[in-house]
Amino acid sequence: MFSLLTRTANNPAKTWAALLFLSVAVLIAAIDARADPSPDSPTERESLPNDAPRDLKRLLGEYSSADTGNYGSQDTRLTIGEAGGNLFADGLGMHGVPLRRLSAMQFVIVGTHGPATRLDFELDQGQRASAVTFRGARLPLRDISREVIETIRGGVNADPQRLRNAALAAKPPIEPAPKREFDLVNLAAVDPNIKFDIRYASSNNFIGFPLYEWPAAYLQRPAAEALVRVQRALAWRGYGLLVYDGYRPWFVTKMFWDATPESAHLFVADPSKGSRHNRGCAVDLTLYELKSGQAVQMTGRYDEMSPRSYADYVGGTSRQRWLRDLLRSEMQAQGFIVYPEEWWHFDYKDWGDYAIGTATFSQLDAAQHSPSP
């Protein structure tokens, strides 16, 4: 660029032309750089898919026989999803097989004919799918997570104080000295556009009663700063972050483990190892629309203990999967790694540098407001 300007310095007209050329070149380069995110992420050219038609959306979900315990293998479940305005079937030996509509409640595998490849859906009184008949077997629509949560709450409600007291009396595992000191930051102070729905400060969680003294979310400072960068990257796409949880005292992790059936332990951290939430380096979150302020719909609910929570779950709608992948790509770009069984859970890269935290929110608040020695 310097040599170009030097050659035209004695000719004003050429100098202006050179400057104009360089300005345009820089602008184009900047636009190209901005429009070139990671190859696996949704891009501006890959616009948000249309939402699935309501009459198809009500048929989506996991179907399996009533005697299938808990989750069952994929060979015992039938997943119905949507892509491009059409249904597809996965499981029972099929992999993303497209379906063709015969009538309102009847579908058939594309390229086939006859009752052997037909799917007949049933609706309940609320006009929501309740079952599907396929290959002669009637498969009810299963809300596996709700079944597990009912089991958890049934046990917890018998003596919730006993569960809490036992966790508070327990001790976390002994570990080597941490590389970094705790430096927790309240996320409410880092970016006004980050929203919160702290479920564990209310009864709206799988345990069924509040576990935190008040609604708040804390992260170690490097993780909090990275989250701000994610928020800003999402803003130009029209989205913001809605945080469900951050730092979690170890005793809460112990309560989760003790209350959850062994078959669902993949959705809760083992207290003998500690959680990355305990270290202040894990965050649970989703997206919300800046325009409406409403949370987007993902492939499954937050804290849902079912295959719909998996980060690579094939079901749901095209739009839900697109939004899930957008969240994941932007979080990964700033050093977060998704937990494979929970699309909403992200661990910051330096989590191993921190100790397991035991302080309650009250103790954190007291420490932050105590005078320096």
Residues carrying an active site annotation: 342
Please provide residue 124's backbone torsions phi and psi, each rounded to the nearest 5 degrees. -90, -170
Q: Which residues, 6 or more positions from 241, have their beta carbon under 8 angstroms from its beta carbon?
A: 193, 194, 195, 227, 230, 231, 234, 285, 286, 287, 288
Parallel/antiparallel/unpaired status of strands 195-196 and 239-245: parallel
- Whether residue 249 contacts residue 358, with contact meaning beta carbons closer than 8 Å, is answered with yes
Task: Write down the H helix ranges in the chain.
Answer: 2-7, 12-34, 54-57, 144-156, 160-169, 221-235, 250-259, 318-333, 361-369
- Integer Cα distance of 32 and 36 in angstroms: 6
Please, which residues bridge with residue 109 across strands?
99
The encoded tokens of residue 265 equal: 């332990």
Q: Closest Cα to residue 284, out of 314, 258, 245?
A: 245
* Element of type H or E holding 274: none
